[in-house]
Chain A
Amino acid sequence: MPDGQTHSTTGIPMPAPDPGILARRQRIVDGLSALLPGEQVIASEDERRAYETDAFTAYRQLPLAVVLPQTTEEVAAVLKFLNAERVPVIPRGAGTSLSGGALPQADAVVVGLAKMNRVLALDFKDRTARVQAGITNLGISGAVAHEGFFYAPDPSSQLACTIAGNIAMNSGGAHCLKYGVTTNNILGVRLVTLEGDILDIGGDALDAPGLDLLGIVIGSEGQFGIVTEAVVRILRAAEGARPMLVGFAAPEDAGRCVAEIIGSGIIPVAIEYMDHLAIEITEGFAHAGYPLDAAAMLIIEVEGSEEEIDRLLERISAIARQCGARTLKVSTSEAESAAIWKGRKSAFGATGRIADYICMDGTIPTGKLPMVLTRMGEIVRGYGLRVANVFHAGDGNLHPLVLYNVNDAGEREKAEACGFDILRLCVEAGGCLTGEHGVGIEKRDLMREQFDETELAQQIRLKLAFDPHWLLNPAKVFPLDLRPAGDLPAAA
């Protein structure tokens, strides 16, 4: 183990905490308490416990302290103070990150946005909503549903995850095939820098002047500043939407079917793929009527008027039959539609009931699907494990769930190694390490699989333009040995 690092229980190295900061803990807490009302500063061990991990539970660490600001000005004051004290900062939304994006460090202060969860303005004419950063993804849709509008990107965690977390991770969901991901649906953010500057980037117009700073803030994993507000695009919902299920005897048939649908000029709102094991696990839990005899299944949803939906689903059915579909089931009621989606959306939860698993998140060119599925099967069998595949088939975002037994210490390690091999395979196939969960700490050390040193250095210089002292979410995204040491000059 290199000097100055500690290991989690799973072998993920973390930078050793700065003893100087630990020694100043009381002073730092006092400083924060001078800036925020007492109940917004969390210092006791008991209360800090809630922040020691996120949905990437492999690693736990109590933070130095937690603050829960309620205004942009409070965030600015806190960051200015922590910057002056050279204390690392961990921005946090709802803590649903699956890549450890919100994991703390012993010498870091967590800045949680959960209290800033209001809708500030709705504009149905311009189709925008101005919201605070801590509002949940579903909360935005909820606030505009009465006018028939919604916020499009729909991560499965949408009930809990915050818009700021979505912005940091550029989150996506099942319906992103048609509507794009977070970056395609945000018009502006209010960003607080470490110096305590409050920047309005973008706004309510479609174009902002200057460089596309919004484009890089989105997906920056909390490393450029803290987002306190966002202007999001809201869309009018289609007249109706309906899914259908198609079961296939072979994964290749399903893959071909996806290509044929798109080739015919139809872009469904969602095309989700599940393999046999995923179908079996999910059906046992949700009883959605999934075809248990299928090697692979697609859920295809289209939108429009009743007539338009009928017509599109007929066309898709014809294509699916040509591709050798075995089962075709078009939803005929709201209840059936809900059941179909319930199955898909509970795939992770259902899997968790039968086994422990790690959820990988790579993307591949969809044309490589058959090759990747075959190779993945070999990799997983090579480790003596099983894998269930849930997959956004329209856009190539794979979610292999590698099953293992948590009580078997060796298996956990094997599962992790296996997951990494799968991600390497994705990169090899022309895809990437993560399609929506982010790099966080989980995939940090795989970054060299996708980027060379020059490319990583370019990204690091960009971070330094925002964060010259490397304080914002410092142990994430980049391999630890690439972190600049000591006090750094600005980017030039």
Chain B
Amino acid sequence: MSGPIQAPADEAELAHVVAEAFAARTPLDIRGGGSKRDVGRPVHGAAVGTGGLSGITLYEPAELVIGARAGTPLAELTAALDANGQMLPFEPADWRGLLGSGEARPTVGGTVAANLSGPRRLMAGACRDALIGVRFVNGRGETIRNGGRVMKNVTGYDLVKLMAGSWGTLGIVTEAIFKLLPRPETSASLVWSGLTDEDAVALMSAAAGSPYEISAAAHWPAGDGMPARTVLRLENFAPSVAYRAERLARELKRHGAPDRLDEAASSALWRDIRDAAPLRDAAGAVWRVSVAPSRAPAVALALRQAGGAARLFDWGGGLVWAAAPETAEAAAAIRRAAAAQGGHATLVRGSEALRLAVPPFTPPAGPLAALTARIRAAFDPAGILNPGKMGE
């Protein structure tokens, strides 16, 4: 992974770089902010950066859409949205603390490639749900547009969704268009202390199944001398937040009386949850387990038996963050624990040795594996885009 980084100045130049790599069968290592070389399997190839592709290309606040080139720092997008009281619905995380890549600047392309979604996912969907248009360069060096700037579009296949979370293995995103939400007038949180995992998940499910539209629900199991905390977030106009907080507290009173955090305290807490702060100082590997929320307590139990620990439940229990020893055995046990509950586990932080020993992303099996390979070949026939990244 040495050698200079090629930094095409625009999409056409990038397409040219890829076309030449295709002709020569040269593998490419795609770098956004360049911060995540340590996620997934290491890629060996000529480094291509998207930094030259920068800038917001479209912003229509009244239409709730924003578009930007792939190398645009996410912070630039967020600043523009802030100025208009709007936001990306999926609340992208900043894991630089978690992954120790503090100097890197997360980009729009990297956010799409990782399909990165934070706590509001529970209510507002993932990055892929907000993504309505992309431009990308496929593994032949061809430029492809799909989707667009309108909310509803069923013209042809939805390649937009496919690009999200493909980690650069199908194409190099050159531009992304997102739908937006107005930033809520205010927010507040309700916090219950000392609940068991089971109680916490029951509470979060009841809240998410209520008419009061919580925008996030998370649970920090007890640890580091802190009691367990279970948190619900409300975001809306001020009177609605007050009303809904009161109703929720009443409906959920069998779990005890919650504390209420005002906007400032609530925002700080959710920033920590979003960025997986409880995992920052954890020793060993960091995993994310996706399951149906009601299965989260069972997953947490199995994780403990595997020598790991659930450190944070987000998405009402649908996402379990765990720390575990850096061993292949622990990894296998975590995968089994997730699969036994109908879920799957992703290795987010681990040594290179571990990432080579176990696939960081859960590999597809059987006919799904064959189909995945055919799809990959349909976009990148020579297999030059981030080869091996997702484990293929």
Is the CB of B218 closer than 8 A to any CB of chain A? no
Report the minimal beta-carbon distance from B152 to chain A, rounded to whole angstroms: 4
B residues near A492, Cβ cutoff 8 Å: 374, 377-378, 381
Q: Among residues 345 to 392 in chain B, which have CB atoms less than 8 Å away from a CB atom of chain A?
A: 346, 361-364, 366-368, 371-372, 374-379, 381, 390
Q: Give the complex CA separation of A54 and B368 in angstroms.
A: 32
A residues near B61, Cβ cutoff 8 Å: 263
Q: CB within 8 A of B152: which of A265, A435, A455, A490?
A: A435
Looking at chain A's contact residues, the main secondary structure is loop
Q: CB within 8 A of A491: which of B170, B343, B364, B375?
A: B375
Contact present for A212 and B164 (CB under 8 Å): yes
A residues near B6, Cβ cutoff 8 Å: none
Given A366-B63, A461-B378: A219 and B150 interface contact (C-beta under 8 Å): no
Contact present for B292 and A204 (CB under 8 Å): yes
Contact present for A450 and B156 (CB under 8 Å): yes
Contact present for B152 and A396 (CB under 8 Å): yes
Q: CB within 8 A of A215: which of B158, B181, B205?
A: B158
Report the minimal beta-carbon distance from B66 to chain A, rounded to whole angstroms: 13
B residues near A364, Cβ cutoff 8 Å: 150
Report the minimal beta-carbon distance from A141 to chain B, rounded to whole angstroms: 15
Contact present for B157 and A184 (CB under 8 Å): no
Q: Give the complex CA separation of A288 and B208 in angstroms.
A: 35
Is the CB of A158 closer than 8 A to any CB of chain B? no
Contact present for B367 and A199 (CB under 8 Å): yes
Interface size band for A: 35 or more
Given A433-B155, A450-B156: A215 and B161 interface contact (C-beta under 8 Å): yes
Contact present for B148 and A430 (CB under 8 Å): yes
Q: Give the complex CA separation of A203 and B205 in angstroms.
A: 18
In the A-B complex, the 7 residue pairs with the smallest Cβ-Cβ separation, listed nearest first, are: A215-B161, A259-B62, A435-B152, A395-B151, A209-B362, A465-B374, A265-B182
A residues near B153, Cβ cutoff 8 Å: 363, 432, 434-435
Among B30-38, B137-145, B268-276, the stretch in contact with A: B137-145
Q: CB within 8 A of B379: which of A125, A128, A307, A458?
A: A458
Is the CB of A180 closer than 8 A to any CB of chain B? yes
A residues near B215, Cβ cutoff 8 Å: none
Q: Give the complex CA separation of A176 and B160 in angstroms.
A: 19
A residues near B154, Cβ cutoff 8 Å: 169-170, 219, 434-439
Given A210-B368, A211-B170, A490-B374: A124 and B362 interface contact (C-beta under 8 Å): no
Contact present for A462 and B375 (CB under 8 Å): yes
A-B contact pairs, 24 of them (CB 8 A): A123-B292, A127-B209, A176-B152, A193-B371, A205-B342, A209-B364, A213-B372, A215-B160, A218-B158, A218-B161, A220-B158, A265-B183, A305-B243, A307-B239, A365-B63, A367-B63, A394-B151, A433-B155, A434-B154, A439-B155, A451-B156, A458-B378, A458-B379, A462-B379
Among A232-240, A245-253, A348-356, A411-419, the stretch in contact with B: A232-240
Q: Which one of A204, A205, A237 has the highest number of Cβ atoms from chain B below 10 Å of its Cβ?
A: A205
Is the CB of B165 closer than 8 A to any CB of chain A? yes
Given A259-B62, A466-B371: A396 and B144 interface contact (C-beta under 8 Å): no
B residues near A432, Cβ cutoff 8 Å: 148, 150, 153, 155
A residues near B202, Cβ cutoff 8 Å: 125
Report the minimal beta-carbon distance from A318 to chain B, rounded to whole angstroms: 14
A-B contact count, CB below 8 Å? Answer: 259
A residues near B213, Cβ cutoff 8 Å: 238
Contact present for B361 and A431 (CB under 8 Å): no
Report the minimal beta-carbon distance from B239 to chain A, rounded to whole angstroms: 7
B residues near A197, Cβ cutoff 8 Å: 366-367
B residues near A490, Cβ cutoff 8 Å: 374, 377
Q: Give the complex CA separation of A175 and B371 in angstroms.
A: 35
Q: Among residues 96 to 152 in chain B, which have CB atoms less than 8 Å away from a CB atom of chain A?
A: 115, 121, 125-126, 128-129, 138, 142-146, 148-152
Contact present for A465 and B377 (CB under 8 Å): yes
Report the minimal beta-carbon distance from A198 to chain B, rounded to whole angstroms: 8
Contact present for A213 and B152 (CB under 8 Å): no
Q: CB within 8 A of B166: which of A211, A397, A443?
A: A211
Is the CB of A378 closer than 8 A to any CB of chain B? no
Q: Give the complex CA separation of A463 and B376 in angstroms.
A: 12
Is the CB of B78 closer than 8 A to any CB of chain A? no
Q: Among residues 239 to 271 in chain A, which have CB atoms less than 8 Å away from a CB atom of chain B?
A: 239, 258-260, 262-267
Q: CB within 8 A of B378: which of A206, A264, A464?
A: A464
B residues near A477, Cβ cutoff 8 Å: 156
Report the minimal beta-carbon distance from A475 to chain B, rounded to whole angstroms: 15
B residues near A203, Cβ cutoff 8 Å: 292, 342
Contact present for B184 and A265 (CB under 8 Å): yes
B residues near A218, Cβ cutoff 8 Å: 158, 161
Contact present for B128 and A126 (CB under 8 Å): no
Report the minimal beta-carbon distance from A360 to chain B, rounded to whole angstroms: 13
B residues near A258, Cβ cutoff 8 Å: 62
Report the minimal beta-carbon distance from A88 to chain B, rounded to whole angstroms: 19
Q: Among residues 170 to 184 in chain B, which have CB atoms less than 8 Å away from a CB atom of chain A?
A: 170, 181-184
Report the minimal beta-carbon distance from B164 to chain A, rounded to whole angstroms: 6
Is the CB of A454 closer than 8 A to any CB of chain B? yes
Is the CB of A58 closer than 8 A to any CB of chain B? no
Contact present for A265 and B85 (CB under 8 Å): yes
Is the CB of B162 closer than 8 A to any CB of chain A? yes
Q: Among residues 302 to 328 in chain A, which have CB atoms less than 8 Å away from a CB atom of chain B?
A: 304-305, 307-308, 311
Q: Give the complex CA separation of A433 and B164 in angstroms.
A: 23
Is the CB of A181 closer than 8 A to any CB of chain B? yes
Is the CB of B92 closer than 8 A to any CB of chain A? no
A residues near B368, Cβ cutoff 8 Å: 199, 201, 210, 213
Q: Give the complex CA separation of A449 and B186 in angstroms.
A: 44
Is the CB of B211 closer than 8 A to any CB of chain A? yes
| Residue interface mask A438-464, B partner, CB < 8 A = 1 | 110001000100110011101101111
Q: Among residues 66 to 95 in chain A, which have CB atoms less than 8 Å away from a CB atom of chain B?
A: none
Is the CB of A208 closer than 8 A to any CB of chain B? yes
Q: Give the complex CA separation of A437 and B155 in angstroms.
A: 9
Q: CB within 8 A of A304: which of B145, B240, B362?
A: B240
A residues near B164, Cβ cutoff 8 Å: 212, 215
Contact present for A450 and B344 (CB under 8 Å): no
Is the CB of B315 closer than 8 A to any CB of chain A? yes
Report the minimal beta-carbon distance from A251 to chain B, rounded to whole angstroms: 16
Q: CB within 8 A of A366: which of B62, B290, B364?
A: B62
Given A124-B209, A125-B205: A308 and B243 interface contact (C-beta under 8 Å): yes
B residues near A206, Cβ cutoff 8 Å: 121, 126, 290, 315, 318-319
Report the minimal beta-carbon distance from B174 to chain A, rounded to whole angstroms: 14
Nearest-CB residue, chain B, relative to A449: B155
Q: Besides A219-B157, A308-B240, A451-B156, 15 other CB < 8 A contacts?
A: A123-B292, A125-B202, A170-B158, A211-B162, A213-B162, A215-B161, A216-B161, A220-B157, A260-B62, A367-B63, A396-B150, A397-B152, A432-B148, A450-B156, A462-B159
Q: CB within 8 A of B208: which of A127, A177, A239, A260?
A: A127
Is the CB of B185 closer than 8 A to any CB of chain A? yes
Q: Give the complex CA separation of A267 and B294 in angstroms.
A: 30
